[in-house]
Amino acid sequence: MRELFAVLVATCGLSNPQQLWDKYKNDMTDDILHRLQEQNPNVTYSDLIYNEGLTKIEDQVKTISGKDLSDYGMIRPQRTEEISSDLIRELDYDTASLQQQLTESVPRLNPEQRLVFDNVVKKIEDGEGGLLFLDAPGGTGKTFLLNLLLTQIRKDKGIAVTVASSGIAATLLNGGRTAHSVLKLPLNLAHEEMPVCNISKNSERGRMLQQCKLLVWDECTMSHKRAIEALDRTLKDIKSNPNIMGGMVVLLAGDFRQTLPVITKGTPADEINACLKASTLWVQVKTFSLSTNMRVQLHNDVQSGQYAAALLKIGEDRMAKDGNGMITLDREFCNVVHNPDDLNNFVYSELLTNMRNREWLCERAILAPTNEMVGQINEQIMSRVEGDIVEFLSVDTVMDTEQVTSYPVEFLNSLELSGVPSHKLRLKVGVPVL
C-alpha cells in the first residue's frame, strides 16, 4: 500500500495527499506494527511507527521523482539519529503498566534478589557501567528478577536490551531475543581469535546500543567466552569508551552447573577453555548469587525441595559415582516414558487447543542433547497439526570474497548453531516459531 501511495503522490498530482495519509496511515503502517508486536505484544500505533512509514514512503517518492514529501504539500518525516526501528522496538512500552508492575512486584523480592536489584539500579543511576554475573540455579527467581530490572529501566523510557543464548530462554524474558540475532555475533566463534559483532557505530543497531542503559544476557554460561569478548570490543567501539563493555552495565545470568559451551569434536579441556570463567574479562566481573529456591518456598513443597537439592548436588559434583564415573538418579525424581510419542504427549498433551497460547507454551519444553534430535522432535510434534508443510531455505553466502573457496555454500548450509535457524525450515500455518 505504501508503494501505491508513493506512486500516487509522485505522479498523479493529488490535491491533498496529507489528508489521504492521515486517513489511511494505520493501514499503511500495519506491517511495521505487526513486526514490532512480535518482539513486544504491548506496542500500539505511535508517532514513531507513523514516522517510519513516512520515511519509507519518502524514500520511494525520491526514487520516482527526486523530490521529498514537502514538495507535495506533506509533512516530512523526522530523519534524525534518534529514529530507527530498533529504537522504536525498545521504546514502545506502556510506562503506566510498567510502573504498576514495579509497585506490585518489588516488595515481593527476597533479600538476595533485592540486593541484586538495588546494586544494578545504582550502577545505572551512577553511570558507572560494569560487567556483572548472576549465579542462579533453577527455581531461585532469576527470570522474575531480570524482568523486574528490565521494567525498572523501561518505565522511564530508558533502553534495556535483553538477549539469551537460546530461543527457549529468550521467550521467558520481556522483549527477549537470541544473542546471535540481536548482537550479530560471528557464527564460528571457536575459530576466530579476536571476534567482533557485525554492528557499526552509525547503524540503527549501533545507535540504539549507544543509548542502552542495561544489557541483560541470560544463559550466558552456554555461550563461548569469545561471544562475550566480541560484545566487549564492539561496545567499546560503538560508545567510544575504553572501559569494560564500553561503560555500559551488562548483566550476565546463568548457572555453570548446567549446559556449558559445546565444542564440536572437542575434549573436556576444550570445553572448559571455552567457558566464560576462562576469559580474560572474568577477573573484572562482579558476581551475585541467588540460593533461595522460590518455587519450593512459595508452594511449601517438600518433594520439590528434595529435587532441587539433588540437582545442586549433581551440578556441584557431590553425588556418589560408580567406577565409570556415572551417577544413579532416584526414580522418584523421574517420569519415565518408553518412546518419543509418549514424551511428546506428556509434555504437549493439549497442543491443538493451546498452540497459540503463549503462556502455556512458555511453561513447557523438551530439551535434547543435539540439534538433530531437536529437529526430529519438532517434526513429530508438527505432524499432529493439520495443514500442509511449507519449506523455506536460507541463502548463505561468504561476505569476504577471498574466503569463498574455503567455505562452499554446502558447508554454510550444513551449519547448525544455537540460536540460529537451520538452513531448511519446515513450517505449517499456526505452528509457533521461536
Domain ranges in the chain? 2-80, 95-292, 295-333, 335-434
Give 167-221 pLDDT, tens digit per residue.
888 888 999 999 998 999 987 887 888 999 999 888 878 989 999 999 999 999 9
Helices and strands (H, E) in the chain, number of each type: 20, 8
CATH of 95-292, one of 3.40.50.300, 3.40.50.1820, 3.20.20.70, 3.30.565.10: 3.40.50.300
pTM (2 d.p.): 0.68
Neighbours of 283 (CB within 10 A): 7
Q: Calculate Rg over the CA atoms of the chain.
A: 24
Average pLDDT over residues 297-310: 74
- Label residue 112 by pLDDT band (50, 70, 90): very high
**Higher pLDDT, residue 223 or 293:** 223
Which residues on neighbouring strands pair with residue 286, listed in sequence order?
132
Give Dmax (Cα) for the chain: 87
Average pLDDT over residues 297-315: 77
Cell for 424?
Answer: 531448511
- Label residue 273 by pLDDT band (50, 70, 90): very high
Res 419 pLDDT > 70: no
Host H or E run for residue 163: strand 159-164
The torsion angles phi and psi of 403, rounded to 5 degrees, stand at: -100, 5
* Contact yes or no for 321/354 (Cβ under 8 A): no
Cell for 284?
Answer: 573484572
Q: Is 246 left (phi over 0), alpha (psi -120 to 50) or beta?
A: left
Query: Over pLDDT 70: what percentage of the chain?
Result: 95
Tell me the CB-side half-sphere exposure of residue 195, using CA atoms within 13 A: 21
What was the pLDDT predicted at 82?
Answer: 47
Host H or E run for residue 141: none
The answer for residues whose C-beta is within 8 angstroms of residue 406's C-beta and 6 or more apart is: 398
Cell for 369?
Answer: 542433547
Average pLDDT over residues 146-161: 95
Which residues on neighbouring strands pair with residue 426, listed in sequence order?
391
Query: Over pLDDT 90: what percentage of the chain?
Result: 41
**Higher pLDDT, residue 356 or 302:** 356
* Contact yes or no for 89/39 (Cβ under 8 A): yes
- Cα 305 from Cα 70, distance rounded (Å): 67
DSSP codes joined into one string, 80-95 = STT--HHHHHHH---H
- Cα 221 from Cα 271, distance rounded (Å): 11
* Contact yes or no for 150/170 (Cβ under 8 A): no
What was the pLDDT predicted at 224?
Answer: 94
Amino acid at 158: G
Give 156-168 pLDDT, tens digit per residue.
989 999 999 988 8
* Contact yes or no for 282/226 (Cβ under 8 A): no
Res 394 pLDDT > 90: no
- Cα 65 from Cα 302, distance rounded (Å): 73
